[in-house]
Structure 1
Amino acid sequence: MAELHHECGVAAIYHLPGLVESPLAPRQGASHTSWHMPRLLLEIQNRGQLAAGMTSYDPESAQILETHKDVGTVSEVFDIQHQDRYLPLMQRLKGPAAIGHVRYATCGKEDRCYAHPFERTHIEKNKWFSFAFNGQIANYTQLMEEIQAKREFHLARQTDTEILMHLISQQLSGDRRPSLVELLTELSKKLDGAYNIVFLNALGEMFVARDPLGLRPLCYAIEGPMFAAASESVALSNLGFRNENIHTLAPGHAVIIQNNQIEVKKFAESPKTAHCFFEWIYFANVASTLDDRSVYLSRKALGEELAALEDIERGDDLIVVPVPDTSKAAADAMAYKLGVPSLEGLIRNRYIGRTFIEGKDRADKARLKYTPLREVLEGKRVLLVEDTIVRSTTMQVLISQLRERGGAKEVHVRVACPPIVAPCFYGIDMSSISELFAPRFIQSNAELTTEVQAEMARVLGADSLRYLPLPAIARSLGMSEGKLCRGCLTGEYPTPMGEQLYQLAVDDAAKKRQGIHVAPRRTYEQTQVVACSTN
Structure 2
Amino acid sequence: MSDPIKHECGIALIRLKKPLSFYEEKYGTWMYGLNKLYLLMEKQHNRGQDGAGVVGVKLNVDPGRGYFDRFRSVENNPIKDLFQHVFSTISNFTKEHPNQKIDAEWASKNIPFISEVYMGHLRYGTFGRNSVEYAHPVMRQNNWKSRNLALAGNFNLTNVDELFEKLIQLGQHPKAYTDTETVLEKVGHFLDEENERLFRIFKNERYNNKEISAKIKEQMDIQSILEKASRDWDGGYAMAGVIGHGDMFVTRDPWGIRPAHYYEDDEIVVVASERAVIQTVMNVKYDQVNEIAPGYALIVKHDGTVSHEMVRVPQKRRSCSFERIYFSRGSDADIYKERKELGRLLAPKIMQVINKNMNNTVFSYIPNTSETAFYGMVEGIREELLVWKKEKIHALADQLTEECIADIIKVEPRIEKIAIKDVKLRTFIADDASRDDMVGHVYDVTYGQVKNQEDTLVVIDDSIVRGTTLKKSIIKILDRLNPKKIVVISSAPQIRYPDCYGIDMAVMGNFIAFEATIAILKERGMEHIIEETYKKCKSQQNLPKEEVTNYVKDIYRPFNDEEISAKIAELLTPADCNAEVEIVYQSVENLHKACPNDKGDWYFTGDYPTDGGNKVVNNSFINYIEGVKKRAY
Of the three residues 240, 246, 250, the one matched with 2:293 is 250
Where 1:300 maps in the other structure, the secondary structure is helix
Of the three residues 393, 398, 401, the one matched with 2:473 is 398
1:187-219, Cα deviation, whole Å (9 max, x unpaired): 221200011011111101101111111101111
CA apart distance, 1:153: 0.3
> Residue in 2 aligned with 1:164?
183
> CA, structure 1 residues 11+466, in 2 after alignment: closer, same or farther (shift >3 Å)?
same
> Residue in 2 aligned with 1:303?
343
**TM-score relative to the length of structure 2:** 0.74
Q: Distance in 2 between matches of 1:476 and 1:201?
A: 40
> CA, structure 1 residues 144+444, in 2 after alignment: closer, same or farther (shift >3 Å)?
farther
Q: Does 1:285 align with 2:306?
A: no
Q: Distance in 2 between matches of 1:364 and 1:336?
A: 36
1:297-336 aligned at under 5 Å gives the runs 297-310=337-350, 311=352, 312-313=354-355, 314-336=357-379
CA apart distance, 1:327: 0.7
Where 1:92 maps in the other structure, the secondary structure is coil
Q: 1:402, 1:408 within 8 Å by CA — same for their partners in 2?
A: no
> CA, structure 1 residues 305+286, in 2 after alignment: closer, same or farther (shift >3 Å)?
same
Q: 1:7, 1:47 within 8 Å by CA — same for their partners in 2?
A: yes
CA apart distance, 1:232: 0.3
Amino acid of the structure 1 residue aligned with 2:370: S
> Residue in 1 aligned with 2:501?
426
> Residue in 2 aligned with 1:14?
15
> Residue in 2 aligned with 1:51?
51
Aligned residues: 507
> CA, structure 1 residues 498+358, in 2 after alignment: closer, same or farther (shift >3 Å)?
farther
> Residue in 2 aligned with 1:533?
none
CA apart distance, 1:155: 1.9
Q: Distance in 2 between matches of 1:245 and 1:25?
A: 21
Where 1:275 maps in the other structure, the secondary structure is coil
Q: Distance in 2 between matches of 1:506 and 1:131?
A: 33
> CA, structure 1 residues 182+377, in 2 after alignment: closer, same or farther (shift >3 Å)?
farther
Q: Give the % identical residues.
A: 24
Amino acid of the structure 2 residue aligned with 1:166: E
Q: 1:6, 1:283 within 8 Å by CA — same for their partners in 2?
A: yes
> Residue in 2 aligned with 1:120?
140
Q: Distance in 1 between matches of 2:631 and 2:591?
A: 27
Q: Distance in 1 between matches of 2:566 and 2:272?
A: 42
> Residue in 1 aligned with 2:36?
36
More strand by share: 1
> Residue in 1 aligned with 2:230?
188
> Residue in 2 aligned with 1:263?
307
Q: Distance in 2 between matches of 1:150 and 1:198?
A: 23
Q: Does 1:340 align with 2:413?
A: yes
Q: Does 1:492 align with 2:601?
A: no
More helix by share: 2
Of the three residues 550, 555, 560, the one matched with 1:448 is 560
Q: 2:47, 2:123 within 8 Å by CA — same for their partners in 1?
A: yes
Of the three residues 220, 228, 240, the one matched with 2:282 is 240
**TM-score relative to the length of structure 1:** 0.86
CA apart distance, 1:172: 2.1
Q: Distance in 2 between matches of 1:18 and 1:63?
A: 18
Q: Distance in 2 between matches of 1:227 and 1:447?
A: 51
Q: 1:32, 1:95 within 8 Å by CA — same for their partners in 2?
A: no
Q: 1:3, 1:391 within 8 Å by CA — same for their partners in 2?
A: no
> Residue in 1 aligned with 2:492?
417
> CA, structure 1 residues 81+182, in 2 after alignment: closer, same or farther (shift >3 Å)?
closer
Q: Distance in 2 between matches of 1:446 and 1:82?
A: 57
CA apart distance, 1:276: 0.5
Q: Distance in 2 between matches of 1:226 and 1:17?
A: 8
CA RMSD, Structure 1 to Structure 2 (Å):
3.1
> CA, structure 1 residues 478+151, in 2 after alignment: closer, same or farther (shift >3 Å)?
closer
Amino acid of the structure 2 residue aligned with 1:249: I
Amino acid of the structure 1 residue aligned with 2:50: L
> CA, structure 1 residues 42+87, in 2 after alignment: closer, same or farther (shift >3 Å)?
farther
Where 1:485 maps in the other structure, the secondary structure is coil
> Residue in 1 aligned with 2:446?
373
Where 2:269 maps in the other structure, the secondary structure is strand
1:5-154 aligned at under 5 Å gives the runs 5-17=6-18, 26-29=27-30, 32-59=32-59, 60=61, 62-71=65-74, 72-78=76-82, 92-147=112-167, 153-154=173-174
Q: Distance in 2 between matches of 1:341 and 1:23?
A: 55
Q: Distance in 1 between matches of 2:51 and 2:429?
A: 14
Where 1:279 maps in the other structure, the secondary structure is helix
Higher mean C-alpha deviation, range 467-476 or range 142-151: 142-151
Q: Distance in 2 between matches of 1:377 and 1:66?
A: 58
Where 2:10 maps in the other structure, the secondary structure is strand
CA apart distance, 1:141: 2.6
Q: 1:421, 1:490 within 8 Å by CA — same for their partners in 2?
A: yes
Amino acid of the structure 2 residue aligned with 1:499: N
Q: Where in structure 1 are there 5+ consecutive unaligned residues?
A: 525-535
Q: Rg: which structure is higher?
A: 2
CA apart distance, 1:128: 0.7
> Residue in 1 aligned with 2:546?
none
1:448-487 aligned at under 5 Å gives the runs 448-461=560-573, 463-479=581-597, 484-487=599-602
Amino acid of the structure 2 residue aligned with 1:455: K
1:58-94, Cα deviation, whole Å (9 max, x unpaired): 2348221111111143543235599767855996322
CA apart distance, 1:166: 0.9
> Residue in 1 aligned with 2:549?
none
> CA, structure 1 residues 22+376, in 2 after alignment: closer, same or farther (shift >3 Å)?
farther
Q: Distance in 2 between matches of 1:302 and 1:402?
A: 26
Q: Does 1:228 align with 2:277?
A: no
CA apart distance, 1:407: 4.5
Q: 2:38, 2:83 within 8 Å by CA — same for their partners in 1?
A: no
